[in-house]
Amino acid sequence: MMSTAIFYHAGCPVCLGAEQMLANAIDSKKYTIENVHLGTHAKRIKEAEEAGVKSVPALVLDGEVFHINFGAAIADLKN
Amino acid sequence: MMSTAIFYHAGCPVCLGAEQMLANAIDSKKYTIENVHLGTHAKRIKEAEEAGVKSVPALVLDGEVFHINFGAAIADLKN
């Protein structure tokens, strides 16, 4: 049975590229990967909350929540 | 060329299983995956710091640092 990887985010423009890099690193042979933008798909917020998501970006692997702090260095914002 | 995924951790017994689940989810066809226990391999702390790792667990994908807050629910600690 395929495992499921759901990547919840909110479309942060600074972080999105890096976040997708993480999502793309997931093995698609093992995982069905879904990207959910909670800003534009607010009706899925409840599902995310019920899975235990406290902040975004978060990766949920078979129901296990990983909160990701990629963050953005202030220095990067100045570039 | 293979990409590199380095998973830095400190062997937290509560989180290790979940952290390895994340490391195992990385596509090994695309990434050379390395697990580094900084508690037992303290000489690699400098390398981790230079990569931008501020806390563990952290996943470094081709030099891009993702700090992961899996955390442990207090409720889980009581089990």
Interatomic CA distance for residues B26 and B75, integer angstroms? 29
pTM of the model: 0.78
Q: Which of B64, B70, B71 sits opposite A21 (nearest CB)?
A: B64
Whether the pLDDT of residue A42 is over 80: the answer is: yes
CATH of residue A45: 3.40.30.10
Interatomic CA distance for residues A54 and A74, integer angstroms? 24
**B67 touching A (Cβ < 8 Å):** yes
Whether the pLDDT of residue A47 is over 60: the answer is: yes
**Cβ-defined contact of A25 to B18 (cutoff 8 Å):** no
Number of residues written out for chain B: 79
Total domain count, chain A: 1
Name the band, by pLDDT with cuts 50, 70 and 90, for residue A58.
Answer: confident
Interatomic CA distance for residues B57 and B69, integer angstroms? 7
> In the A/B pair of chains, how many CB contacts fall below 8 A?
61
The pLDDT assigned to A23 comes to 78
Range of the domain at B36: 3-77
The pLDDT assigned to A70 comes to 57
The pLDDT assigned to B54 comes to 83
pLDDT digits over B18-52, tens only? 777 777 899 989 999 898 988 899 999 999 999 99
Classify the complex by whether its ipTM is higher than 0.85, answering yes or no. no
Interatomic CA distance for residues B15 and B50, integer angstroms? 24
**Cβ-defined contact of A27 to B26 (cutoff 8 Å):** yes
Which of A14, A27, A66 to mutate against chain B (most B CBs within 10 Å)? Answer: A66
